[in-house]
Amino acid sequence: MTEILSITIPVYLIMIAGFTCVRTGYLDGAVITALSTFTVKVSLPALIFSAIALSDAETALNWTLSGGYLLASMISMMIGYLVMRRGFAQARGASWIHGLGVANSNSGFIGYSIAALVFPEVALQVLAWIMIVENVVVIPFAIIAAEIASGAGGGINAAARKAGASFLRNPLVIAVALALAVRSSGAPLPIEAVKVIEMISSVAPVVALFVVGGIIARYNISPMWRRTAAITIGKLVLHPALVFAVLTLLIDAGDPVVLTAVLIAAVPMLSIYPILGAAHGAEQVCATALVTTTLVSFLTVSALIWVISGCLSGSPSGIHF
């Protein structure tokens, strides 16, 4: 267990550092905004680009894992939507956003940072596959469904156009497109360019974790515990369980890519969850769920790594402690 805590404690201490710096006023919130922008627009795209364009042919793309992860995420979203809509009588638009909170991990900011410490050989490639799924399908679907359900945005055509425009401007999508183009061309990048990309991408995990802590510091917890508990359980238990169940039907359960995907699915939801919820009158619930899920995830993620290490003890799994 000591080895497991040596993985999770540093990750969460970096988030605590970001939280403390913002809450105490040592750093202004604008600094966190700037760091977040740098991470989303520069370092994470560089990370994704290197995962696809600079990796070997066998690990560059895995459509089986991507498809399985997508199916599990969409099932999680539908369950989240139905629970919030039928069980808690939330508005349809807000229920879709809560469904997204259940089904979409903070893959680039938290998921990769943890997975890279446990399965360093495959973590970057799995992150790329998952972020393609999240940014191309899961997030746009939830946003469009929420806008249509709430009657905002002028109907399905306007919502689709808005989502399409956002999709085309997404730095991660652009990074994927460029990486696929470079890979398809077969032309090697200059060694200087490769070194620059690797240097920029190397700062992503630490900066991203610090940013998560700073973002959480902006929100306060409200007494909305039943809804918060449902979202927290959905994100930290249901989503990774469904990812494991679906992927083990397609890939060997002990494959490191499966376990890495489950680890990424087990982390808290994306940091912009409260911002998305604000457009549908659910900012406070989303903020409370984000803070609570992040706190509880220290225990659940540590427990998951413990289970994985126990199941793979003595096997050539690629797990590192």
Give pLDDT, residue 316. Answer: 46
Give pLDDT, residue 238. Answer: 98
* Residue 211 included in any domain: yes
* Residue 259 included in any domain: yes
Give pLDDT, residue 215. Answer: 93
8 Å CB contact between 251 and 312 = no
Phi, psi of 269 (to 5 degrees): -75, 170
CATH of the domain at 205: 1.20.1530.20
* Residue 319 included in any domain: no
* Residue 316 included in any domain: no
* Residue 54 included in any domain: yes
* Residue 285 included in any domain: yes
* Residue 200 included in any domain: yes
Q: What is the DSSP string of 181-236?
A: HHHHH-PPPPHHHHHHHHHHHHTHHHHHHHHHHHHHTT----S-HHHHHHHHHIII
Domain with 284, as residue range(s), is: 2-311
Give pLDDT, residue 232. Answer: 97
pLDDT in tens, the chain (321 residues): 778 888 899 999 999 999 999 999 999 989 999 999 999 899 989 988 888 887 764 555 688 999 999 999 999 999 999 999 999 999 999 999 999 999 999 998 899 999 999 999 899 889 988 988 998 899 999 988 998 888 765 667 776 777 777 777 888 889 888 988 888 887 888 999 999 998 998 888 899 999 999 999 988 887 788 999 999 999 999 999 999 999 999 998 889 999 999 999 999 999 999 999 998 988 999 999 999 999 999 999 999 999 988 776 655 455 554
Give pLDDT, residue 69. Answer: 97
Q: Number of folded domains in the chain?
A: 1
What is d(CA 128, CA 66) in angstroms, rounded to the nearest whole number?
Answer: 9
Q: What is the DSSP string of 122-168?
A: THHHHHHHHHHHIIIIIHHHHHHHHHHHHT-TTSHHHHHHHHHHHHH
Place of tokens 């406070």: 284
Give pLDDT, residue 76. Answer: 98
Q: Token digits for 173?
A: 């999508």
What is d(CA 194, CA 167) in angstroms, rounded to the nearest whole number?
Answer: 26
Phi, psi of 34 (to 5 degrees): -65, -45
* Residue 28 included in any domain: yes
Give pLDDT, residue 155. Answer: 63
What is d(CA 32, CA 30) in angstroms, rounded to the nearest whole number?
Answer: 5
